[in-house]
Amino acid sequence: MVYYWDMDGVLCNFHKEPYKYENAINRQWIAHLEPFTYNIEVLIGQVEQGAKVYILTKAASDEAKQGKLDWIAKHIPQFDTNNFICIVGNGRKVDYIREAGMLIDDDKRNTSPWLKAGYPFYPLAYKGQRVEL
């Protein structure tokens, strides 16, 4: 199976933070977001079981993208960053996939186009929900 993991609200607690939209371009702020440890453990388990795992996320700027890479290096150092897909600016996640797979995301703006394209997704009812695959 192939999995595409969102970061904000799924792997890290972007939504808890005050001034999240003002800080969304700040590399250091992004690099220090609180991890959702349980979901990270599920992602690591998928990799260890031989699944193809991507992190598919959006960033407000190139600096924010670097902050996300810093966050991954700190919290998921074993993750192959060749499987990191970051859309800087606008864009639909479904347009950036490398192969068919399941999206794990908390934003209907991402899951709706995914479903329309015929791919499965794991809908998170609220920010930080545990993923049970």
- Encode pLDDT of 18-55 as tens digits: 666 667 778 988 899 999 999 999 999 999 999 999 99
Residues paired with residue 55 on neighbouring β-strands, in sequence order:
5, 84
Q: How many residues does the chain have?
A: 133
In a domain, 129, yes or no: no
Proportion of the chain above pLDDT 70, given as a percent: 91
Interatomic CA distance for residues 65 and 100, integer angstroms: 24
Q: Which of the 8 DSSP states describes residue 91?
A: -
User: Is residue 127 scored above 70 in pLDDT?
Assistant: no
Mean pLDDT of the chain: 90
Residue 86: CATH number of its domain: 3.40.50.1000
Does residue 131 fall inside a structural domain?
A: no
For residue 133, being part of any structural domain is answered with no
Residue with the bigger pLDDT between 131 and 28: it is 28
Domain that holds residue 39: 2-98+106-123
Sorted by sequence, the CB contacts under 8 Å of residue 33 that are 6+ apart come out as 12, 13, 14, 17, 71
pLDDT per position as a tens digit, 49-99? 999 999 999 999 999 999 999 999 999 999 999 999 999 988 999 999 999
Q: Is residue 39 part of a domain?
A: yes
Number of domains making up the chain: 1
Q: Is residue 115 part of a domain?
A: yes
The tokens of 27 are what? 């590399």
Give the other-Cβ count within 10 Å of 100's Cβ.
Answer: 11
Is 52 part of any domain?
yes
Asked whether residue 48 is assigned to any structural domain, the reply reads yes
110 in a structural domain: yes
